[in-house]
């Protein structure tokens, strides 16, 4: 199991969000010296197949970001089907409810004993209008806090949230649960689908356990250099 990073540990998780397995492999080799974990998302997993997890784990521990969300029995079975896959972090949607999370935890304790389950609270692409459109009248922060408390009580090891909710979740839950934050953008980012964002330095200062960075790294002409630059930005490298 990956320990939650503390000051000085490699908190940056590059998101290998590509449907091109060869490019993802090349990026993994390039970025591995500069990060602690590599993220395999739904696009890469579905295009390359489950074997991509083992391939990436040769370079660094794998964050398997599948955001599982189904009836409890199906999610538990999906977790069991990952037995033998070297994933160290695995996501599921908190909106699946406490029984789904509890069943997933039971399955993971047997099939993936070295893996931490992370419950996704509210996607960073969602704002107030999008929550209202699906019938949620609470603010994003209120919804994140509600789902976060429920998920931890149900057995999740940690949460995925936007950086904006890090302070209130730490206040609610204390130092124990891992808080993983995507939604990392710079002020000059334009034409993006992310709504609740911060810079890497802001997310680190707010208390993120891990900081997931996708497009700012992948779209840079020097992905390794950009990763190292971000680590310098949050005080991890010189």
* Catalytic residue of the set 39, 67, 219, 221: 67
What DSSP letter does each residue of the chain carry, written as one string? -PPPP-TTS--EEEB---S-HHHHHHHHHHHGGG-S-EEEEHHHHHHH-THHHHHHHTTS-EEEEEEE-S-HHHHHHHHHHTTT--EEEEEEEGGG-HHHHHHHHHHHHHH-TT-EEEEE-S-TT--HHHHHHTT--S-HHHHHHHHHHHHHHHT-SEEE--GGGHHHHHHHH-SSSEEEE--B--TT--S-S--S-B-HHHHHHHT-SEEEE-HHHHTSSSHHHHHHHHHHHTTS--
226 is catalytic: no
Active site residues: 67
């Amino acid at each position: 199991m990956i320990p939650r990073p503390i000051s000085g540990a490699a908190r940056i998780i590059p998101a290998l969000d590509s449907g091109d397995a060869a490019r993802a492999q090349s990026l993994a080799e390039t970025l591995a010296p500069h990060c602690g974990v590599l993220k395999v998302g739904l696009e890469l997993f579905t295009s390359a197949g489950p074997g991509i997890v083992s391939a990436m784990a040769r370079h660094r521990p794998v964050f398997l970001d599948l955001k599982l969300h189904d009836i409890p029995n199906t999610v538990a079975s999906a977790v069991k089907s990952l037995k033998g896959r070297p994933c160290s972090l695995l996501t599921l949607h908190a909106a699946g409810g406490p029984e789904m999370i509890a069943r997933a935890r039971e399955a993971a304790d047997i099939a993936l004993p070295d893996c931490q389950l992370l419950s996704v609270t509210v996607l960073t692409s969602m704002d107030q209008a999008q929550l209202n459109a699906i019938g949620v009248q609470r603010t994003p922060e209120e919804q994140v806090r509600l789902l976060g408390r429920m998920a931890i009580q149900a057995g999740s090891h940690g949460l995925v949230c936007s950086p904006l909710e890090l302070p209130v979740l730490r206040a609610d839950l204390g130092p124990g649960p891992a808080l993983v934050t995507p939604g990392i953008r710079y002020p000059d980012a334009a034409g993006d689908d992310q709504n609740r964002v911060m810079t890497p330095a802001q997310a680190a200062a707010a208390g993120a356990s891990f900081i997931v960075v996708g497009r700012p790294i992948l779209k840079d002409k020097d992905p390794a250099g950009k990763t190292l630059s971000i680590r310098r930005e949050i005080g991890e490298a010189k």
